[in-house]
Structures are given as structure tokens and as C-alpha cells.
Amino acid sequence: MKADPKGVLTGAIFLDGDHACAEGAIAAGCRFVAGYPITPSTEVVERIADRFPLIGGMFIQMEDEIASSIAIQGAVWGGKKAMTVTSGPGFSLMMEHIGLAAMTEVPCVFVDVQRGGPSTGLPTLPGQGDMMQARWGSHGDYGIIALCPNSPQECFDFTIKAFNLSEQYRVPVLLMMDECVGHMTERVIIPPADQIELYPRRYYDGPKEEFLLFKPDKDMVPPIVKAGDGYNIHVTGLTHDEKGYPAMTVPAQEKLVRRLIDKIKLNADKIVEYKEEQVEGADVVVVTYGITSRVAIPAIEQARAEGMKVGHLRLIVAWPFPEKRIKELASKVKAFVVPEINYGQMVLEVERHVAGKARVELVGHGGGAVHNPKDIYNVIKNSVKG
């Protein structure tokens, strides 16, 4: 399915990451956004609020992030593609509803423009401290998808990708931006609508009498209907059976929760995405994501210039994590170096899959700025020595 040309600003334009995200949402067909102001994410909803009236969209500034994160789910059941946007403190408030969206399999997008934390932290300055929260923030067990753009162009592209993945797997998708990417202005190329591929919502088209709201297809994802379609659906955050009725038993829990996890885990090969550069034959692989993937480049180049064999693996999809690839590389390299603007989150995941076969070095940063590439370089240099 191709994008609706209405609202797609085809061409090359200068945009910051927040505005590019808004344009990505519009191109993806998102026509319902609920949000609450919070730095450094607010420019996303400001642009949406400006653009929506003339392209048939509904923007509502809700009374808080809790309301925003569930209003979008009501909107999805009403038939819209929907998104909410926030930053750290608001992301924390949204956790319960990320769980609801996972449990009731609502395709929707949550954008988190990360800033320094914890708590109010550094509202105007970058951080990458919400990565584990993105994976595990809501209570209970569930599968999730999280993407990490590193440029305004990717804020545009990955917002579309986030909508597509959410529709394909009926899962909330998290776009994990950061303040740097959000406020960085660069050239963004918006293709013509007919070159933007969208994954259509998986509406049920079988016989009405056989319909079950949570009966999965072969890929473990159930087709959906919307309110008003005449199916008298029941949707609950309680553990439920395929009909959607509460079923609070051990077997029902096992069946449902296992599927919520497996539909991501067993489809991970199709979802996982990363970019590799000179990884083959490398002694050290630098694993990065988001803004840090750009900050690491001078460090990697300097090391290479000095003859070190350094590869670069950049996570595009952070969750699910590319565990197979890390496992493969673990037996081939001396060390992994993981720079991130926190004191060790994704590095834990790298360590888990390396499982002692190579050294794993964190280059931590408390937030408020990006790394000095020199700090990354030093760790690479020490790692190559072994």
C-alpha cells in the first residue's frame, strides 16, 4: 500500500528531527495524535497541531501523558493510525499504557525524545537512559519493538517504519529519539507518496460468525476490527481468551503472554535491523545506536588510521536485539565497545549474548552532552591491545 499524497511534503527540506518525525507520521497516514508538552519533544506535536487541520487530522493536547497514551488507543479502535510523543518523565507516565497496548495488541507509535534523567534531570539536554525502560518499563512480560534514528532523515523514515511494524505485528512501537537528534536540523528528503510503502492495517475479512478478536494468524498476529463494525468486540487488559473475554487462569495466561512475546521473538529475524561496517576481520566492534552512532565515527576513523581493525555495528532496531549477530561475532573478535549516554544499558544486552567469549567495554556518559570521541577512541585502543 502506498502513502496518501495528501500532506506529504515531497522534496528536500531543512527540518529538525522533531519536525521530521511529525512529517513521517503524516506520510505514514497517522491522523490522530494526542500529546502533552514536554521538552525536548514538543516540536513534534507543535508541527502536528499546525499541519493537521488542513489534512483531516485530529490533534488533541490532553491533560497529561497518561491521558495521551490511552487516547491514542481509543483512536486506533476508532479506526485511526495514532501516535503520542513525549520525553523521559512523560515516558514514565505512559508505561502502564504501553502495557495495555501490548496486552490488547493495539498498533500505535510512542515517540520518546530522550533527555538526561532520572526524574526531571536535564530537560533540554540529551540522554539515552530510557533504553531498558523501553524494553521492560511496563509491568509483566510482553514483546516490544524500539527503533533508534540518528538523523532528521531517519526521524522521518523510522517514524514510517515504526507505523509499519506496529501494523504488521499489532504491537506498540517505540521511536527512541534523543534531544540531539530531535533538535538537529539537516536536509530531509521526503519522497513522493507513491514511493512510500505502508503496511496496511490487518483488518479481518473472514466470515463474521468465525471471528475471534485475538485468534492469531500463522505469524501469531491476530487480525483486527474497529468499533462500529458490528462485531460487538470486547477488549480488556485482563488476561483474556481468543474472544477477548477475561480468562484468569494459568493456561490462559500461558497461552496469551507466550504469544505476545513469541510474536516478536520468533519474528525477530524479520524485525531486527542493524548497519555494519568493516565488521568482518575486526578485532574490536563498536556497538552504537542513536546519536552515539555518529559521535563514535571520528573515534573509529582515528583508530583505523592508526592501523587498528575496528568494525562498527549500529543498532537500527534496538528491541528486539540482534542477539544472533552478536553471538556470531563474539567468537570472532577480541572485544566489543559500547558507547551510550547512560551508565550501562544496551551494554548489558551485548554482554549477555557475548557470554564471556570476548571482552565487552562500556563507554558510559551521564547525559547532558554527547561523548567526546576521544573517550571512545581510548577505550577502542585499550581493547585492541587486549
Position among 207, 230, 251, 386 found at the interface with other proteins (CB under 8 A): 230
Residue type, 94: M
Taking CB under 8 A as the criterion, the residue among 41, 73, 128, 239 binding other proteins is 73
Give 195: exposed, middle or buried? Use CB within 10 Å, 0-12, 13-18, 19+: exposed
SS3 120: coil
Identify the residue among 19, 32, 179, 272 touching other proteins (CB under 8 A).
32
Of 66 and 261, which CB lies nearer to other proteins in the complex structure? 66
In the complex, minimum distance from the CB of residue 58 to other proteins, in angstroms, rounded to a whole number: 5
Site stretch for other proteins (CB under 8 A), options 14-22, 49-57, 111-119, 375-383: 49-57
From candidates 8, 38, 71, 184, binder to other proteins by CB under 8 A = 71
**Looking at the chain, how many residues does it have?**
386
- Beta bridge partners, 374, equal none
| CA 48 to each of CA 33, 82, 177: distance values in angstroms, whole numbers, following the listed order | 8, 12, 17
**Applying CB under 8 A, which of residues 8, 27, 28, 76 lies at the interface with other proteins?**
76
**Selected binder of other proteins within 13, 49, 62, 212 (CB under 8 A):** 62
Q: What's the closest the beta carbon of residue 156 comes to other proteins, in angstroms?
A: 24
Piece of 76-84, 155-163, 279-287, 370-378 that binds other proteins (CB under 8 A):
76-84
What is the radius of gyration, based on Cα positions, of the chain? 21
Q: How far is the CB of 213 from other proteins (least distance, A)?
A: 10
Residue that is written with C-alpha cell 570472532 in the block: 332
Residue 347 Ramachandran class (φ > 0 left, ψ -120 to 50 alpha, else beta):
alpha
Q: Grid cell 561496517 — which residue?
A: 277
Single-letter amino acid, residue 53? P
User: How far, in Å, CA of 218 to CA of 280, rounded?
Assistant: 36
Question: Any contact of residue 226 with other proteins (CB under 8 A)?
Answer: yes
Q: Which stretch binds other proteins (CB under 8 A): 53-61, 168-176, 323-331, 368-376?
A: 53-61
Interaction of residue 234 with other proteins, rule CB under 8 A:
yes
Based on the shown chain and the rule CB under 8 A, indicate whether residue 231 belongs to the binding site for other proteins: yes
Q: Give min distance, CB of 100 to other proteins, in A.
A: 6
**Quick check: 49 binds other proteins (CB under 8 A)?**
no
What distance in Å separates the CA atoms of residue 113 and residue 82, rounded to the nearest whole number? 17
Q: Which residue from 126, 102, 131 is spatially nearest to 116, judged by alpha carbons?
A: 126
Strand partners, 284: 310, 335
Side chain identity, residue 72 = I
User: Which range touches other proteins (CB under 8 A), out of 74-82, 123-131, 140-148, 188-196?
Assistant: 74-82
Distance CA(20)–CA(39), nearest Å, equals 16
Indicate whether 100 belongs to the interface with other proteins (CB under 8 A): yes
Provide, rounded to whole angstroms, the least separation between the CB of residue 205 and other proteins.
18
Minimum Å gap between C-beta 61 and other proteins is 10
What distances in angstroms separate CA 172 from CA 8, 50, 81, 111, 274, one per listed residue?
A: 24, 25, 12, 10, 20
121: left (phi over 0), alpha (psi -120 to 50) or beta: left
- The verdict on 58 binding other proteins (CB under 8 A) reads yes
235 binds other proteins (CB under 8 A): yes
Which range, of 96-104, 197-205, 274-282, 357-365, touches other proteins by CB under 8 A? Answer: 96-104
Provide the binding-site residues for other proteins, judged by CB under 8 A: 32, 34, 53-54, 56, 58, 60, 62-64, 66-68, 70-80, 82, 96-97, 100, 226-238, 245-246
